[in-house]
Structure formats: structure tokens, C-alpha cells
Amino acid sequence: MRFFASMERAAEDVAARSRHPDDPERRWFLEALLASSAGALIGIPDLAEAKSVDSPLERQVSRLVKKMRRQGRISASERTSWSVYDFTTRTKLVSINEAVPRQAASMIKPFVAQAYFYQVDQGRKGARYTSSVRHTMERMIQHSDNRATNRIIDLVSRHGAGRGPREVEAVLKAAAPNVFKQVRVVEKIPDSGATYANRASAWDYSRFLYAMHHGKLPYSEEMRRLMRLPNHDRIFKGVPGIPSSVHVCDKTGSTAKLCGDMGILEARDRHGRYHAYTMIGIIERQTRARNYGSWISKRSDAIREVSNLVYQYMKDRHHLV
């Protein structure tokens, strides 16, 4: 565990340094990014346009995370991932441990919904988006209802090959393998919410949000509606520097081993134009936190602090009001 934690901190160190064009770490990252975008989802612009730049924001985020580690707000053994993409300039501004698969917790729920939307769009026998299913989706996304989630998983399995939770992963990867590359869905969510086996990377969430924002997924507009329903998010609510006029669509994930949020924020500039960007933050630990309430609260605040930093950067970048 110490080895992996040291590797995580090394990634943060790389992000914190000012990069020279010949920096081997930067060359490796760009090569990996370009390779991963070679078979991008049909209908979505080549994701190489999302390539990382020598971003001051990435260095600022890395310095802030390291500061919170020194303060004990993120422990030395905990691993983190951070991702920010600016839709206006089509630029990846932050990519820290973005390609590392982590526990998904409830952040897997939009993927469960998307699997069902694929089946409806494909005309699978019996797969219909009825008012009853819509209500179940709302409980799953807005209220993070685990029983509602399992109900949708059962529907996906019933309209597929009957593989249970694995049917969700199979549907996603068959329909959009270059969006859901590292997604792993192998278990339902118990009433306790203690789900640790389902996994996804910050890059998976980023690709999903990118595709949804551009309307390239079935029922993209409905997915945006579901994720815009008021909830207890960590990237907007409780962030003192973000005004109430900002719109957010997101999904959180919370267990005794993971605290995360992934979403899109939209804010107006002084001319009334909207600027959207993704904000993804994940903090993961290998063992259960002894005091869940205290741990999840402090890590939620850590994500809020990073989100505030990102918003202030975007505010200056696009003259947001």
C-alpha cells in the first residue's frame, strides 16, 4: 500500500513541476493520451483534442492536495484522482492519476442508467422508458437509492443475457468501448451502501461527461436532467466561492473507503454566455475509515476546496460573473 501511495504522490509531484517540452513524463502522458483516443467513439470528435497542456491549474491543484496531505486532511496512504476539462477551449486542464481505476461507489449509478438507455434506444424487447422507470431513475440518481439502483440493474440484466450486474458493463462496452474503457460492474449495491468492487477511472467519468455534454449518448438530455436534480454534491454546494447562479449536474460516491464526485458546472460570463467544465475529484483508501462520518465530511470538504480553486481559475479565464 505504501508503494502505491508513493506512486500517487509522485504523480502529484510531476503535475506540480513546471514541465519542459522534453520532460519524459510529459511525453509519456501525451503519447498515452493520443493512443487512447485513436479509436474514439463514433460521432465524438477525436479525444486528442482533450490533451493535457502545461496547465497552471494542474500545478495549483497538485500543490493544494499536497498541502492538505501535510495538514492531515488527506492522509499519506490515501490515493487521489483529479480531472478538469474546459469545454469552451476544448482543453484538458487537470489530469492527475486520471487513468487509475478506483472504487466507483455510487458514481457507478449514472453508468447503470446509461446501460438501460442503450437498451431502450436499441429497441430491446420490453425495454421502455416508462414513468415508473423514470421515477426509479430519479430515486437512483437524485437520492442515491440503492434499491432503485438494483432495480435498474435487474432490468438491464433481464433485457440482456441475464448476467446480473455484469450485464451493465457488457452493454456499456459493447455500445461505447472507448468511453467506458476501465469501467467494471460486478456487484449490486447492498442496503448498507458498502460496495467496493465496482470500479471506474476519472478518465471514464471524463469521457462519459464529455459525450453526454455533446449529446452523443442515447437520452443525453434526460441524463443531464437526472444529474441536475438537487442533491448533496461536493463540487458546488458548500463551496463559498461559487455563486448560486452556477448550474451543476453531478453524481457523488460515498463509502467508508471512498469519497468522490464527478460532474459538469456551467457559469455565465459578463456577456451572458455559458462556459462549462468538468470537475472530478476522488479520494480513496484501502481500509474502512473507523469514523465514517468524520472521514467523509473532511474529504468532502477537501474536494470542495479543490472545486473552489478550479472555479476561481475558470472565473479569471472566462470572466465569469
Q: Which of 6-20, 77-91, 270-284 has the lowest mean pLDDT?
A: 6-20
Domain containing 110: what range? 2-318
Cα dihedral 240, 241, 245, 249, rounded to 10, equals -80
C-alpha distance from residue 78 to each of 69, 184, 206, 232, 296 (Å): 9, 21, 21, 23, 13
191 — pLDDT class (breaks 50, 70, 90): confident
Question: Got the DSSP string for 240-280?
Answer: TTS-TT-EEEEEEEE-SSEEEEEEEEEEEBTTS-EEEEEEE
Residue 15 has pLDDT above 60, yes or no: no
What is the separation, in whole angstroms, between the first and last Cα of the chain? Answer: 44
Grid cell 446480473 is found at 164
pLDDT-derived band of residue 226, with 50, 70 and 90 as boundaries? very high
For the chain, what is the largest distance between any 2 Cα atoms, rounded to a whole number of angstroms? 56
Mean pLDDT of the chain: 88
CB 172 within 8 A of CB 183: yes
Q: At 310, is the pLDDT very low, low, confident or very high (cuts 50, 70, 90)?
A: very high
For 145-166, give one letter per residue: b (16+ CB within 10 A) or e. Answer: bbebbbbbbebbbebbeeebbb
Is the sign of the CA dihedral 181, 89, 15, 260 positive or negative?
negative
Mean pLDDT across 246-266:
98
Q: Which of 269, 232, 267 is nearest to 250 (CA)?
A: 232
Q: Cα separation of 294 and 292, whole Å?
A: 6
Distance CA(12)–CA(283), nearest Å, equals 13
**Helix runs in 2-130, H state only:** 2-16, 24-36, 56-70, 109-121
Which grid coordinates belong to 130?
416508462
Location of C-alpha cell 509519456: 28
Stretch (H or E) spanning 292: helix 292-318
pLDDT confidence tier of residue 193, bands split at 50, 70 and 90: confident
pLDDT at 178 over 70: yes
Provide the residue count of the chain: 321
Assess contact for 115 and 172: CB atoms under 8 A: yes
Instruction: Compute the average pLDDT of residues 124-143.
Output: 98
In the structure grid, which three cell numbers stand for residue 273, read together? 454566455
Eight-class DSSP state of 51? -
The total of structural domains in the chain comes to 1
Residue 40 binned pLDDT confidence (cut-offs 50, 70, 90): very low
> With bands split at pLDDT 50, 70 and 90, how would you rate the model's confidence at 97?
very high
CA atoms within 13 A on the CB side of 39: 6
- Please give the DSSP secondary-structure letter assigned to residue 40: P
Q: What percent of the chain has pLDDT over 70?
A: 83
CATH number, domain at 215? 3.40.710.10
What is the tally of helices (H) and strands (E) in the chain? 10, 7
Asked whether the predicted pLDDT for residue 3 surpasses 80, the reply is no
pTM: 0.86
Q: In 10 A of CB 38, how many CB atoms?
A: 10
Where residue 195 falls among pLDDT bands split at 50, 70, 90?
A: confident
CA distances from 70 to 7, 60, 61, 64 (A): 17, 15, 14, 10
Element (H, E) at 227: helix 220-228
**pLDDT of 45 over the 80 cut:** no
